[in-house]
Amino acid sequence: MQGKKIVVMGVANSRSIAWGCARALEENGAEVIYTYQNDRMKKSLTRTVGEDKSMVACDVADDDNVTKAFEEIHEKHGNIDGVIHAVAFADKETLEGGVLNTKRDGYRMAQDISSYSLIAVSRAASRIMNEGGSIATLTYFGSTRAIPNYNMMGIAKAALESSVRYLARDLGPQKIRVNSISAGAMKTLAVTGIKEHSKLLQLSRDLTVDGNEVTLEEIGNVATFLMSPLSTGVTGDIIYVDKGVHLS
């Protein structure tokens, strides 16, 4: 990954999946450019990655913000080679209320931040991306199954996975690939918003092939593979990195 510049979006703290991706990328020689949602997140990002890293503000809920962020990245670093999109959000009421009670605003916000943002980010990133570039997002098994309490996020992930396939078609002629990693459940800040999340984590652990949940390193290694030229034949795909939970 020497000489490759990869934008990593979504490091909130040392438990973040994005942090697992960033570490693996850096260990393999890539230069990582971090984005953060707001000033509060910048503080925890700095605590996690250190002050010497390149960081750019990017709130994916706002199109201008996304455009500006990638323009700033281009000014500071020139063209990039990849993006890891590890961003999602649904408000507590929407997540906890069950799908039947989902309100229009809650639906809109979850889809906007967790799914539409990949489209906005792909558009802005592809303008400054070298040929052979790669975009990867994070999804979860609740997109194709009705996992207890995953609720609205499952619907947003289904839209996200479909977006991956269509974006892969749109960006194919530019030789940019778009994929997703379907990660096993792990305790992160985002997961604590899910009702009875410890049950979800336990259920997931019980369904792995060896009783151990997937690690940040394992997800980071697959993200690095997807950013690397080793995966040039893979696009529009969902790669499960969940220790076999999806086999059940």
Binding residues for substrate: 90
Quote the least distance from Cβ 5 to ligand NAD, whole Å.
Answer: 20
Q: How many amino acids of this chain bind ligand NAD (CB under 6 A)? A: 27
Q: Which stretch binds ligand NAD (CB under 6 A): 49-57, 76-84, 135-143, 164-172?
A: 135-143
Q: According to CB under 6 A, which one of 16, 163, 179, 224 is a site residue for ligand NAD?
A: 16
DSSP the chain: -TT-EEEEE---STT-HHHHHHHHHHHTT-EEEEEESSHHHHHHHHHHH-TTSEEEE--TT-HHHHHHHHHHHHHHH-SEEEEEE------HHHHHS-GGG--HHHHHHHHIIIIIHHHHHHHHHHTTEEEEEEEEEEE-GGGTS--TTTTHHHHHHHHHHHHHHHHHHHHGGGT-EEEEEEEPP---TTGGGSTTHHHHHHHHHHTSSSS----HHHHHHHHHHHHSGGGTT--S-EEEESTTGGG-
**Residues at the annotated binding site for NAD(+)?**
10, 16-17, 37, 59-60, 87, 157
If one asks whether residue 239 binds ligand NAD (CB under 6 A), the answer comes out as: no
Taken in order 156, 216, 136, 117, is the CA torsion positive or negative? positive
The residues, any chain, with a CB within 8 Å of residue 102's CB and separated by 6 or more, are 94, 151, 152
Q: What residues from 60 to 79 belong to the interface with ligand NAD (CB under 6 A)?
A: 60-61
Q: Which stretch binds ligand NAD (CB under 6 A): 46-54, 73-81, 85-93, 128-136?
A: 85-93
If one asks whether residue 33 binds ligand NAD (CB under 6 A), the answer comes out as: no
Q: Which stretch binds ligand NAD (CB under 6 A): 11-19, 101-109, 166-174, 232-240?
A: 11-19
Reply yes or no on whether 166 is catalytic: no
Judge contact between 50 and 11, C-beta under 8 A: no
Q: Which stretch binds ligand NAD (CB under 6 A): 7-15, 92-100, 143-151, 226-234?
A: 7-15
Residue 175-214 contact track with ligand NAD, rule CB under 6 A, x = bound: --------x-xx-xxxx-----------------------
User: CA-to-CA distance for 31 and 6, rounded, in angstroms?
Assistant: 6
If one asks whether residue 244 binds ligand NAD (CB under 6 A), the answer comes out as: no
Q: According to CB under 6 A, which one of 56, 69, 81, 89 is a site residue for ligand NAD?
A: 89
Choice among 36, 140, 166, 240 that is catalytic: 140
Closest CA to 196 of 229, 127, 148: 148
Quote the least distance from Cβ 73 to ligand NAD, whole Å.
Answer: 14
Reply yes or no on whether 140 is catalytic: yes
Q: Any idea which residues carry the catalytic annotation?
A: 140, 150
Residues that bind ligand NAD (CB under 6 A): 10-12, 16-18, 37, 41, 58-61, 86-89, 113, 138-140, 183, 185-186, 188-191
